[in-house]
């Protein structure tokens, strides 16, 4: 399936919920709380980023570079 077709399908999921019902977009604090709760549900032994800060930094850099490249393609 083409990237364009996958994006089209994925966007329909987000569009199906009215903006006023998208709680995370309306309440960033709620989103942060949910993310923290999700992170705490993983046992400390399996939290690789909390144990390996270099790995976390590498992943963050990779994500940032991917986002930057995607912005360049869209322009």
Position 23 scores a pLDDT of 75
Q: How far apart are CA 59 and CA 35, in angstroms?
A: 17
Cβ–Cβ < 8 Å for 50, 44 = yes
Element of type H or E holding 19: none
pLDDT tens digit string along 1-30? 888 998 888 888 777 777 777 777 778 888
Stronger pLDDT, 17 or 56, i.e. the higher one: 56
- Model confidence, pTM: 0.35
């Amino acid at each position: 399936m083409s990237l364009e077709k996958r994006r089209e399908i994925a966007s329909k999921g987000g569009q199906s919920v009215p903006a006023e019902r998208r709680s995370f977009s309306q309440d960033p604090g709620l989103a942060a709380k949910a993310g923290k709760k999700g992170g705490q549900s993983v046992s400390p032994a399996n939290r690789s980023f909390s144990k390996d800060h270099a790995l976390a930094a590498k992943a963050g850099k990779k994500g940032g570079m991917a986002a930057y490249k995607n912005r360049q393609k869209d322009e």
